[in-house]
Structure 1
Amino acid sequence: MKQIVIVAHGSPSDPAPQEAALQDLAQRVGALCPDDTVRAATLACPGALEAAFEGLSDPLVYPFFMAEGWFTRRELPRRLAKAGLSARHMRPFGLDPHLPALIAQTSHDAAIQAGLEPESADLILVGHGSKVAHRSKDSTYAMAETLRRSLPFWRIRVALIEEPPFLANIAAQSLRGLCLPFFALRAGHVENDIPEALEEAAFNGPLLPAIGEHPQVPALIAAAIVRE
């Protein structure tokens, strides 16, 4: 029996909604892994990390992050050490080898549903970005490059929230297409910043849910647990 703790960043200003969303995700993953213990915690919710690890003897952390960066390599180990905890960690969600296929199928189906011909439309993959670190940007560009090898979109364009190329600028040059947020959880960027940037750019194509909200994500995580 494996012991898995799904960990995400969460929202420090309003931790409850994302903590609840992550707990729901853990329940759905657990239903697919009935022989394993699956729990969850956001780093932003006070006491959640310690509670999730309580009573576990050999836990594995599943980082529900889009990149292997500062939070997974430094902040999470620091938080665990501060609480007297230790755990091995799995590959982050954004680097799952089966995620590109899920994004490809999702974006292609959404284009067809919207009456768009992918061959003449843009797919805007919007990531977080960072003013101080490059891994968020790099992981978004890497995913876009992978998608270009399998998707027939006219262009697959990267846009970011916290550094150039900013979403409003990219969307203004891409009036025909759709936008897919390369995010794990629904937070301020997904709920507010992305729609506002698209409105500013007069982009009228579909805005898809964050890929981490996709109904197939629990199965993707469960499969990663089986492979571990």
Structure 2
Amino acid sequence: MYSTRLPFLPGQATELLVVSHGSPSDPEPQERFVRRLATRVGARTGADVRGTTLAKPGALEAAVSGFRAPMVFPQFMTDGWFVSTNLQNRLAKAGLTAWTTLTPLGLNANLPDLALRRVRAEISTLGVPEQDTTLVVAAHGSPSDPRPARATEAFVSALKADGAFHNVRVGYVDENPSLEEAASVDGPAIVLPFFAARAGHILEDLPEALDAAGFTGPVLPPIGAWDEIPFLIAALLQRQRAAV
């Protein structure tokens, strides 16, 4: 069932499943990525942490084998259909009867502060003042579901509230404003990909859009691939432990 909790006892090994979308056309690279991510989270928490994708056939079923009532961390940037519906159905079909779905990566309250630190560190290497730099947030979006854009806009609003940059713009793969439009800027700019993994949109759509816009500035790795993310997930798990 969705968001079922069982009590955490001190010293008891917590079960955590990290789940990402994956790539149906080439599942292995993303499967390896999320498993490495899970290993790094486990090393920081002492929990039994496993990682898998929805894309690789049989992988989810294998990952939950032996789990009783895991916490589930969606390595997704939104709480859209894949997290709220597809993931829940897949977990039940995989044999789980109870689990707790944690806040997806893109909605984590600490993500904007992490992003600000990373962007500022990158800008500091360029010799350009922050207040003269435009930050372009590249995201997925969806023409049929408002939740992806809603999550992106909440993230962007937090970045804008800091007031550090000349401007903060957002562009989407699947809706307007487009990535090309967002990246068509004058003056210094940097791109922050609001994506969970280095996969198709990062490898294909984003470079194509930036080329079309004539963008030549720096492009950060996608947020989900940052070295800081295992610490973010570990902190979320520890807060969840303390709240039980």
TM-score (norm. length: structure 1): 0.96
Please tell me whether residue 85 in structure 1 is matched to residue 96 in structure 2: yes
Q: Tell me the residue number matched to 2:194.
A: 182
* Structure 1 unpaired stretches of 5+: none
State the AA in 1 paired with 2:205: D
SS of 1:149's equivalent in the other structure is: helix
1:130-145 equivalent positions in 2, closer than 5 A? 130-145=142-157
* Alignment equivalent of 2:77, drawn from 62, 66, 81: 66
1:145-224 equivalent positions in 2, closer than 5 A? 145-224=157-236
Aligned-pair distance for 1:84?
A: 2.8
Is the Cα contact below 8 Å between 2:61 and 2:95 reproduced in 1?
no
Please tell me whether residue 227 in structure 1 is matched to residue 239 in structure 2: yes
Aligned equivalents of 1:144, 1:154: Cα separation in 2:
14
Is the Cα contact below 8 Å between 1:111 and 1:177 reproduced in 2?
no
Aligned-pair distance for 1:68?
A: 1.0
SS of 1:139's equivalent in the other structure is: helix
State the AA in 2 paired with 1:43: L
TM-score (norm. length: structure 2): 0.90
Aligned equivalents of 2:73, 2:133: Cα separation in 1:
35
Q: Tell me the residue number matched to 2:33.
A: 21
Q: Tell me the residue number matched to 1:105.
A: 117
* Shift >4 Å, 4+ stretches: none
C-alpha RMSD of matched pairs (Å): 1.1
Please tell me whether residue 6 in structure 1 is matched to residue 18 in structure 2: yes
State the AA in 2 paired with 1:173: V
Aligned-pair distance for 1:127?
A: 0.8
Aligned equivalents of 2:68, 2:151: Cα separation in 1:
32
* Structure 2 unpaired stretches of 5+: 1-12
CA distance 1:174–1:225, change in 2 (3 Å): farther
Aligned residues: 227
Aligned equivalents of 2:95, 2:32: Cα separation in 1:
25
Q: Any idea what the Cα deviations from partners look like across 1:26-79, whole Å, max 9, x if unmatched?
A: 111111012x10001100011111111001112111111111111111001111
Aligned equivalents of 2:231, 2:136: Cα separation in 1:
25
